[in-house]
Amino acid sequence: MSETTEYVHLFDNNIKALFSDAVRITLQDPSVAAFFVRMRRAQRMAEHRRALLATEGVHVPPFMIISVTGRCNLACAGCYAQAQQRHEEPDMTPTELLSVVQQGHDLGVGIMLLAGGEPMTRVDDLLTIAREVPDVVFPVFTNGTLLDDLLVRRIRKQRNVIPVISLEGHEAATDARRGQGVAAQAQAGIALMRRAGVFFGTSLTVTRLNIDAVLDEQYLCGLIDLGCRLFFFVEYVPVREGTESLVLDSAQRARLVAVVASLQKRLRGLFIVFPGDEEVFGGCLAAGRGFIHISPSGRVEPCPFTPYSDANVRDVPLRDALASPLLATIRTNHDRLTETSGGCALWSQREWVQSLLPRAEEKDATDREATT
């Protein structure tokens, strides 16, 4: 196996292990376990489609992040989406959004994480997409404040929609960043999902200041007791200038990876670090090596933290966008993207990424950078 394909094999194996673990931890709920058995089969079929396209020279990532809207009902401190100062562009229409999801499925993308803004502001569109594309898993990163009994019952009917509630740790830390009372609203949504039997998770932004709290096993077991089964540990990226002191140091990053690996073996949950240990995969997984990001307006970008693009799914098919010069160059140079200070190798080399853009796009990116 060549070095070029070895990381693909490793990443695919990690996905298969994730879904096998999902089956294992949900055996006490036969309907949920049956869903993950079906999804495990769907992931194998998606992997097969990607492998066939690879023989034609088309590289398709197994994972896609779609920011479905820039709108949000909160104004969280340090929000990367707000800090990026994107140009005002209309969100993709329901038809455009469904089209890009269907294209991704047909190419072999098996997991599509939906983000924002606050994606639940488009919940009707999201549930329609999940119903139309049942073989894709849709984790939805949400602040949880829009969850109510009716919405939770609708989500219950769409097993492939997995709400992921964003928290900062305990109530005080969450409210300090997201606003007074937000933690209580999120807890109310969690209670509703537990009673309804919805499989859900949480996203914990990990900083130099809160790492002890979010890795505390008693805290995590408390969330498991509340019904949480999926945990994303997202390393803080200093998109907002002046917040570099929040970034994990090398020892903390090593600890995060080690602790999460231990939790996966011992606790009844799925534990994922993002962006994870890039060195294991020979460099950054962004730009389509492992995942891509699609902005609310359809721009195809290397990752959510690097909002630079030379292709838009409103203008070209997703297959063509994946082969854009920007993404192709980043993938070719992935070996220079193993530096993980700042939680994101691409963010630490954003000036190089900007230099790869066509002149007009480069000017737009520089303008955005100057306003952050």
Place of tokens 């670090």: 273
How does residue 306 score in pLDDT terms, banded at 50, 70 and 90? confident
Burial 251-261 (b: 16+ CB within 10 A, else e): ebbeebeebbe
Q: What mean pLDDT is predicted for residues 294-299?
A: 96
How does residue 358 score in pLDDT terms, banded at 50, 70 and 90? confident
Q: For the CA atoms of the chain, what is the radius of gyration?
A: 19
Asked if the model's pLDDT at residue 166 lies above 80, the reply is: yes
Which residue has better confidence, 315 or 72? 315
Cβ count near 220 (within 10 Å): 20
In terms of DSSP bridges, do strands 63-67 and 111-115 run parallel, antiparallel, or are they unpaired? Answer: parallel
Q: What is the mean pLDDT of the chain?
A: 89
Whole-prediction pTM: 0.91
pLDDT of 337:
67
Question: Which tokens go with 43?
Answer: 């992931």
Q: What mean pLDDT is predicted for residues 355-359?
A: 80
List pLDDT tens digits, range 103-155: 999 999 999 999 999 999 999 999 999 999 999 999 999 999 999 999 999 99
Asked if the model's pLDDT at residue 1 lies above 50, the reply is: no
Q: How far, rounded to the nearest angstrom, does the alpha carbon of residue 230 sit from its chain's CA centroid?
A: 13
State the first-to-last Cα distance of the chain, in angstroms, to the nearest integer: 43
Q: Rounded to 5 degrees, what angle do the CA atoms 73, 75, 81 make?
A: 95
DSSP characters over 269-326: SEEEEES--GGGGTS--TTTTSEEEE-TT-BEESBTTB---S-BTTTS-HHHHHT-HH
How does residue 3 score in pLDDT terms, banded at 50, 70 and 90? very low
pLDDT of 73:
84
The whole-angstrom separation of Cα 284 and Cα 112 is: 19
- Residue 150: phi and psi, rounded to 5, are -65, -45
Asked if the model's pLDDT at residue 311 lies above 70, the reply is: yes
Q: Rounded to 5 degrees, what angle do the CA atoms 252, 257, 261 make?
A: 145
List pLDDT tens digits, range 170-205: 888 888 888 899 999 999 999 999 999 999 999 999
DSSP count for the chain of H helices, then E strands: 16, 9
Residue 271's nearest CA partner among 230, 234, 235, 210 is 230
How does residue 354 score in pLDDT terms, banded at 50, 70 and 90? confident
Which residue has better confidence, 339 or 230? 230
Which residue has better confidence, 274 or 369? 274
